Homo-oligomer: A and B are copies of this chain.
Amino acid sequence: MARWDPGAPERLRQAALDLFDEHGYDAVTVTQIAERAGLTRRTFHRYFPDKREILFAGSERLPPAVAEAVLAADPGLAPLPAALSALREVGTAVSGMVTDSGRRRAVIQSSPELLERERSKSAEVTAALRDALEQRGAGSTEAHLAARVSSIVSEEAFARWADGEGAFTECFDAAETALDAMLAENT
Protein backbone atom coordinates (compact mmCIF):
# COMPACT_ATOMS: atom_id res chain seq x y z
CA MET A 1 0.00 0.00 0.00
CA ALA A 2 2.77 2.38 0.90
CA ARG A 3 4.77 4.20 -1.69
CA TRP A 4 7.80 2.77 0.03
CA ASP A 5 8.28 -0.76 1.30
CA PRO A 6 8.52 -1.09 5.06
CA GLY A 7 11.58 -2.36 6.87
CA ALA A 8 14.08 0.01 5.34
CA PRO A 9 16.69 -0.41 8.11
CA GLU A 10 16.69 -4.20 7.85
CA ARG A 11 16.82 -4.01 4.05
CA LEU A 12 19.82 -1.72 4.30
CA ARG A 13 21.47 -4.07 6.77
CA GLN A 14 21.09 -7.06 4.47
CA ALA A 15 22.23 -5.13 1.41
CA ALA A 16 25.29 -3.90 3.25
CA LEU A 17 26.23 -7.34 4.55
CA ASP A 18 25.88 -8.86 1.09
CA LEU A 19 27.97 -6.17 -0.55
CA PHE A 20 30.65 -6.28 2.14
CA ASP A 21 30.86 -10.05 1.71
CA GLU A 22 31.17 -9.70 -2.01
CA HIS A 23 33.54 -6.76 -2.48
CA GLY A 24 35.03 -6.04 0.94
CA TYR A 25 34.05 -3.28 3.33
CA ASP A 26 36.29 -0.56 1.92
CA ALA A 27 35.28 -1.08 -1.68
CA VAL A 28 31.58 -0.61 -0.97
CA THR A 29 30.09 2.90 -0.92
CA VAL A 30 27.04 4.09 0.97
CA THR A 31 25.41 4.90 -2.36
CA GLN A 32 25.74 1.29 -3.49
CA ILE A 33 24.22 -0.01 -0.26
CA ALA A 34 21.31 2.38 -0.54
CA GLU A 35 20.70 1.57 -4.19
CA ARG A 36 20.63 -2.17 -3.56
CA ALA A 37 18.03 -1.53 -0.85
CA GLY A 38 16.03 0.66 -3.25
CA LEU A 39 16.78 3.84 -1.36
CA THR A 40 19.04 6.86 -1.55
CA ARG A 41 22.24 7.77 0.23
CA ARG A 42 20.43 10.36 2.30
CA THR A 43 17.98 7.80 3.58
CA PHE A 44 20.79 5.52 4.69
CA HIS A 45 21.94 8.31 6.98
CA ARG A 46 18.44 8.68 8.42
CA TYR A 47 18.88 5.28 10.07
CA PHE A 48 22.61 5.01 10.53
CA PRO A 49 24.77 7.99 11.42
CA ASP A 50 27.72 6.59 9.51
CA LYS A 51 28.78 3.68 7.36
CA ARG A 52 30.38 1.67 10.21
CA GLU A 53 27.29 1.83 12.35
CA ILE A 54 25.22 -0.41 10.11
CA LEU A 55 27.23 -3.39 11.38
CA PHE A 56 26.31 -2.59 14.96
CA ALA A 57 22.57 -2.07 14.60
CA GLY A 58 20.77 -2.68 17.89
CA SER A 59 23.90 -2.36 19.99
CA GLU A 60 22.44 0.66 21.75
CA ARG A 61 20.22 -1.69 23.73
CA LEU A 62 23.13 -3.47 25.37
CA PRO A 63 24.34 -0.89 27.89
CA PRO A 64 20.91 -0.35 29.49
CA ALA A 65 20.30 -4.10 29.55
CA VAL A 66 23.57 -4.71 31.36
CA ALA A 67 22.92 -1.89 33.81
CA GLU A 68 19.49 -3.28 34.59
CA ALA A 69 20.87 -6.77 35.14
CA VAL A 70 23.47 -5.45 37.56
CA LEU A 71 20.91 -3.54 39.55
CA ALA A 72 18.68 -6.61 39.66
CA ALA A 73 21.48 -8.83 40.99
CA ASP A 74 21.65 -10.01 44.60
CA PRO A 75 22.60 -6.90 46.63
CA GLY A 76 24.88 -9.01 48.82
CA LEU A 77 27.20 -9.76 45.91
CA ALA A 78 30.52 -7.98 45.67
CA PRO A 79 31.01 -5.80 42.56
CA LEU A 80 32.91 -8.32 40.45
CA PRO A 81 30.54 -11.25 40.96
CA ALA A 82 27.58 -8.95 40.39
CA ALA A 83 29.07 -7.71 37.13
CA LEU A 84 29.90 -11.22 36.00
CA SER A 85 26.42 -12.49 36.69
CA ALA A 86 24.91 -9.58 34.78
CA LEU A 87 27.18 -10.11 31.77
CA ARG A 88 26.51 -13.83 31.80
CA GLU A 89 22.78 -13.21 31.81
CA VAL A 90 22.74 -10.57 29.08
CA GLY A 91 25.31 -12.44 27.01
CA THR A 92 23.22 -15.59 27.07
CA ALA A 93 20.19 -13.66 25.85
CA VAL A 94 22.21 -11.91 23.13
CA SER A 95 23.85 -15.12 21.93
CA GLY A 96 20.39 -16.54 21.38
CA MET A 97 19.10 -13.59 19.35
CA VAL A 98 21.99 -12.60 17.14
CA THR A 99 21.64 -13.20 13.42
CA ASP A 100 24.35 -13.29 10.73
CA SER A 101 26.91 -13.37 13.51
CA GLY A 102 29.47 -15.25 11.43
CA ARG A 103 29.42 -12.97 8.39
CA ARG A 104 29.24 -9.91 10.59
CA ARG A 105 32.27 -11.01 12.57
CA ALA A 106 34.27 -11.74 9.43
CA VAL A 107 33.61 -8.28 8.01
CA ILE A 108 34.50 -6.55 11.27
CA GLN A 109 37.76 -8.44 11.59
CA SER A 110 38.71 -7.37 8.07
CA SER A 111 38.80 -3.64 8.75
CA PRO A 112 40.71 -1.65 11.39
CA GLU A 113 38.01 1.00 11.19
CA LEU A 114 35.40 -1.54 12.23
CA LEU A 115 37.50 -3.06 14.99
CA GLU A 116 37.91 0.44 16.32
CA ARG A 117 34.17 0.92 16.38
CA GLU A 118 33.66 -2.45 18.03
CA ARG A 119 35.95 -1.40 20.84
CA SER A 120 33.81 1.69 21.32
CA LYS A 121 30.74 -0.48 21.64
CA SER A 122 32.50 -2.59 24.25
CA ALA A 123 33.55 0.52 26.07
CA GLU A 124 29.95 1.72 26.22
CA VAL A 125 28.90 -1.50 27.87
CA THR A 126 31.79 -1.29 30.31
CA ALA A 127 30.87 2.29 31.17
CA ALA A 128 27.25 1.35 31.82
CA LEU A 129 28.45 -1.50 34.00
CA ARG A 130 30.73 0.83 35.95
CA ASP A 131 27.93 3.33 36.56
CA ALA A 132 25.51 0.62 37.67
CA LEU A 133 28.07 -0.81 40.07
CA GLU A 134 28.60 2.62 41.57
CA GLN A 135 24.86 2.95 41.94
CA ARG A 136 24.92 -0.29 43.94
CA GLY A 137 27.29 1.37 46.36
CA ALA A 138 30.70 0.35 45.04
CA GLY A 139 33.49 2.89 45.25
CA SER A 140 34.48 4.72 42.08
CA THR A 141 37.73 2.92 41.30
CA GLU A 142 36.44 -0.39 42.55
CA ALA A 143 33.45 -0.10 40.21
CA HIS A 144 35.70 0.85 37.33
CA LEU A 145 38.10 -2.03 37.85
CA ALA A 146 35.35 -4.60 38.36
CA ALA A 147 33.61 -3.40 35.21
CA ARG A 148 36.77 -3.74 33.15
CA VAL A 149 37.81 -7.11 34.51
CA SER A 150 34.36 -8.56 34.01
CA SER A 151 34.29 -7.20 30.46
CA ILE A 152 37.43 -9.14 29.70
CA VAL A 153 35.70 -12.32 30.81
CA SER A 154 32.63 -11.54 28.75
CA GLU A 155 34.60 -10.78 25.61
CA GLU A 156 36.67 -13.90 26.03
CA ALA A 157 33.43 -15.85 26.41
CA PHE A 158 32.00 -14.34 23.22
CA ALA A 159 35.17 -15.14 21.33
CA ARG A 160 34.96 -18.78 22.40
CA TRP A 161 31.28 -18.94 21.60
CA ALA A 162 31.84 -17.48 18.13
CA ASP A 163 34.55 -20.09 17.55
CA GLY A 164 31.93 -22.75 18.19
CA GLU A 165 33.23 -23.93 21.55
CA GLY A 166 29.79 -24.76 22.88
CA ALA A 167 26.86 -22.94 24.49
CA PHE A 168 27.46 -19.41 25.70
CA THR A 169 27.16 -20.26 29.39
CA GLU A 170 29.79 -22.97 29.02
CA CYS A 171 32.08 -20.51 27.29
CA PHE A 172 31.48 -18.00 30.04
CA ASP A 173 32.36 -20.57 32.71
CA ALA A 174 35.50 -21.51 30.83
CA ALA A 175 36.53 -17.87 30.52
CA GLU A 176 35.98 -17.29 34.22
CA THR A 177 38.01 -20.37 35.06
CA ALA A 178 40.83 -19.30 32.76
CA LEU A 179 40.98 -15.88 34.38
CA ASP A 180 41.03 -17.34 37.89
CA ALA A 181 43.81 -19.70 36.85
CA MET A 182 45.88 -16.87 35.41
CA LEU A 183 45.39 -14.76 38.54
CA ALA A 184 46.18 -17.64 40.89
CA GLU A 185 49.51 -18.31 39.25
CA ASN A 186 51.28 -15.14 40.43
CA THR A 187 54.67 -16.22 41.71
Is A18 among interface residues, defined by CB-CB distance under 8 A?
A: no
Range class of the A interface residue count: 20 to 34
A182–B76 CB distance below 8 A: no
Taking the closest CB of chain B, its distance from the CB of A175, in whole angstroms, is 8
Is A181 among interface residues, defined by CB-CB distance under 8 A?
A: yes
Q: How distant is the Cα of A185 from the Cα of B179 in the complex, in angstroms?
A: 16
Among B120, B144, B182, B187, the residue within 8 A (CB) of A142 is: B182
Q: Which residues of B contact A72 (CB under 8 A)?
A: none
Taking the closest CB of chain B, its distance from the CB of A174, in whole angstroms, is 9
Q: Which residues of B contact A144 (CB under 8 A)?
A: 156
25 contacts between A and B (CB under 8 A): A77-B187, A78-B185, A78-B186, A80-B185, A81-B186, A81-B187, A112-B120, A115-B123, A116-B116, A116-B119, A116-B120, A119-B119, A119-B120, A119-B123, A142-B178, A142-B181, A142-B185, A145-B182, A146-B182, A149-B152, A149-B179, A149-B182, A149-B183, A152-B152, A183-B183
